[in-house]
Amino acid sequence: MLNPLVIIGLIIGITIHEFAHAFVADRLGDPTARSQDRISLNPLKHLDPLGTIMMLFVGIGWGKPVPIDPYNLSHPRRDETIIALAGPFSNLLLAIILSLISKFFNFNSSIIFIIIFINISLAVFNLLPLPPLDGSKIFLNLLPVEKAIEWEKAFARYGYILLAAILFLPMGNGNIINSIITPIINLIMSFLV
């Protein structure tokens, strides 16, 4: 089972992330998240039961995805990209704010460090261009429509397999995902902490 401080950090990070998606979707004209009471900082609204159990016992989990209806958006491709970016951006923003508070008030604690680290990790991880991560939506919406359709079909076939492979296949002293995102996380951490 994970360290309780890590669990608290993950709950805060996932809640902020999913709240940001819901809030931005609502602001861009899609009331779907509002109708499901997802514009909330209550963690219970955003934690997926299976994702939470996996997080507690395996160390890899997920939140409940925020539903959006692109037909409610004025500019669906642009707005979906903004909504997808909102989650990782909120994690980075929280990490920056906590870092500034920590430095300004000379307040160093394990929980602050853990929350900063987890939020940076969530932001970087979610920007990978693999489904169901936010990066896949961003990537698809930046492509021309025809190419996006081709990639979406490939993602439907192989995206989850690729994600599982990078999460679980070993590489060096860890797994593939650690080799990809750890240098980026460490670079951002070096600026903030």
For the chain, 193 residues long, the average pLDDT of each consecutive 10-residue run is: 86 96 98 97 95 82 93 97 98 97 87 95 94 94 94 88 82 79 95 90
Containing structural domain, residue 161: 4-192
- Model pLDDT, residue 84: 98
- Model pLDDT, residue 13: 96
Selected catalytic residue, list 18, 80, 150, 152 = 18
pTM over 0.75, yes/no: yes
- Model pLDDT, residue 156: 86
Whether 80 is catalytic is no
- Model pLDDT, residue 1: 66
Residue in 75, 70, 51 with CA at minimum distance from that of residue 61:
51
User: Tokens at residue 152, please?
Assistant: 């979406």
- Model pLDDT, residue 33: 97
Q: How many domains does the chain have?
A: 1
Four-point Cα dihedral 43, 123, 184, 9, nearest 10: -10
- Model pLDDT, residue 37: 96
